A = this chain, B = another copy of it.
Amino acid sequence: MAGNSIGTQFRLTSFGESHGEGLGGIIDGMPSGVAVDLDFIQDELNRRRPGQSAIVTQRKEGDRIEILSGVFEGKTTGTPLAFLIRNENQKSKDYSHIKDTYRPSHADYTYDQKYGIRDYRGGGRSSARETVARVVAGAFAKLFLKEEGISFTAFVHQIGHLKLTKAYAELDLAKAETNVVRCPDPELAVEMENFVKEVRKDGNTVGGAIQCVIQGLPAGLGEPVFDKLHADLGKAMLSINAVKGFEYGSGFDAVTMKGSEHNDTFNSDFSTQTNHSGGVQGGISNGEDIYFNVAFKPVATLMQKQHTVNVEGKTVEMEGKGRHDPCVVPRAVVIVEAMAAITIMDHFLRAKSYQ
């Protein structure tokens, strides 16, 4: 229970460090007979890839996937899908300066406390580079769920003070993928892009929020007590690096609402007139869209001088080296989708046991 697996019936176990041989994982529980669209999987990886635009980290990684098992003549066989993405552009010497230093708001100190040893190169296992495995598993889940008419669309909802004000239903979400920020409002996207560039110029970083919409889900998915559908989605999102909060449907706005405002009245086909519930009632999907927001903190590595301590508790001055994102949300969009797809896939397969 060392926590490197997620899911039950569809389970990803991931491995790898930022500056080790590579990263990857094993997907156990992928149904057989699914055509493996490698181009789609690679496209998904490219949405997360470093170096894809001027506002993300400039580390050069091809992030080429090698599938090691579980595919025969282009189709999944039902056996484990193992995959590997080799690291190509490690610059480990960029990190020698932090070997004995605990960077503020990084996991250096906590890893040392837990393990007594730490691969300090690029944060080792604590690097967000680990999420590459999630994107692959999410892509496999999407391949299967697409056939069931289920789609996942995430986009940047907020960066710093710049926030989308329209509801997702009023927007053309496809536009999110037409700009480097991944915001479906093109004008706001430009503002966001300029803001991120400004922040980066200062050697600073900034937080952001992503919204995700799941559409086409049938009613009846999810387990009603501890493994509520939204609880598993929440855990999946909170397990992504830098995430600080999760809300679905009305979310934190529900706190100030009255029941008479919040209740979603049924239509005669059991759809609802409003969707404050966010597509889930009692932990089980009701057939409406599921939508949720995910809050990301600003990246902890700054290109500014900071004071911190070394492993002996002595104050030292440090300044970020290496290649870092000034704001993670543009690249995190596909990770949010992937974690959503992994979670829904798991519950989709679990639900089949009852039908």
Tell me which residues across on chain B come within 8 A of A11, comparing CB atoms.
Answer: 1-2, 5
Provide the A113-128 mask, 1 if CB < 8 A to any CB of B, else 0: 1111111000011100
Does A165 reach chain B (CB closer than 8 Å)? Answer: no
Cβ A115 vs Cβ B354 within 8 A: yes
Does A334 reach chain B (CB closer than 8 Å)? Answer: no
Tell me which residues across on chain B come within 8 A of A259, comparing CB atoms.
Answer: 105, 204-206, 298-302
Tell me which residues across on chain B come within 8 A of A31, comparing CB atoms.
Answer: 353-354
Cβ A246 vs Cβ B245 within 8 A: yes
Which A226-277 residues sit within 8 Å CB-CB of chain B?
Answer: 226-228, 230-232, 234-236, 238-239, 241, 244-252, 254-270, 272, 276-277
* Cα(A260)–Cα(B239), bound, Å: 23
Cβ B130 vs Cβ A225 within 8 A: yes
Tell me which residues across on chain B come within 8 A of A251, comparing CB atoms.
Answer: 244-245, 295
Does A307 reach chain B (CB closer than 8 Å)? Answer: yes
Knowing A79-B224, A245-B245 touch, does A298 contact B107 (C-beta < 8 A)? Answer: no
Provide the A7-22 mask, 1 if CB < 8 A to any CB of B, else 0: 0110101111100111
Knowing A161-B256, A295-B254, A315-B268 touch, does A306 contact B263 (C-beta < 8 A)? Answer: yes
Which A288-308 residues sit within 8 Å CB-CB of chain B?
Answer: 293, 295-302, 304, 306-308
Cβ A225 vs Cβ B252 within 8 A: no
Cβ A115 vs Cβ B78 within 8 A: yes
Cβ B102 vs Cβ A32 within 8 A: no
Cβ A160 vs Cβ B231 within 8 A: no
Does A174 reach chain B (CB closer than 8 Å)? Answer: no
* Cα(A297)–Cα(B226), bound, Å: 18
**What are 8 A-B interface contacts by the 8 Å CB criterion?**
A3-B226, A9-B350, A15-B68, A29-B353, A113-B287, A126-B224, A238-B246, A252-B252
Q: From A70, which residue of chain B is reached at the shortest CB distance? A: B15
* Interface size, chain A (Cβ < 8 Å): 151
* Cα(A126)–Cα(B283), bound, Å: 9
Knowing A113-B220, A227-B3 touch, does A302 contact B353 (C-beta < 8 A)? Answer: no
**In the complex, what's the smallest C-beta–C-beta distance from A271 to chain B, in angstroms?**
10
Knowing A110-B219, A116-B33, A354-B114 touch, does A257 contact B80 (C-beta < 8 A)? Answer: no
Knowing A105-B263, A110-B284, A204-B258 touch, does A226 contact B5 (C-beta < 8 A)? Answer: yes
Cβ A2 vs Cβ B255 within 8 A: no
Provide the A25-67 mask, 1 if CB < 8 A to any CB of B, else 0: 1101101110000000000000000000000000000000011
Q: From A242, which residue of chain B is reached at the shortest CB distance? A: B254
* Cα(A44)–Cα(B221), bound, Å: 33
Cβ A254 vs Cβ B297 within 8 A: yes
Tell me which residues across on chain B come within 8 A of A244, comparing CB atoms.
Answer: 247-252, 254, 278
Knowing A113-B219, A238-B234 touch, does A284 contact B1 (C-beta < 8 A)? Answer: no
Does A168 reach chain B (CB closer than 8 Å)? Answer: no
Cβ A26 vs Cβ B26 within 8 A: yes
Cβ A125 vs Cβ B13 within 8 A: no
List the 3 closest A-B pairs by CB distance, nearest first.
A107-B282, A3-B223, A3-B227
Cβ A246 vs Cβ B234 within 8 A: yes
Knowing A69-B15, A295-B247 touch, does A209 contact B252 (C-beta < 8 A)? Answer: yes
Knowing A160-B256, A259-B300 touch, does A111 contact B235 (C-beta < 8 A)? Answer: no
* Cα(A2)–Cα(B224), bound, Å: 8
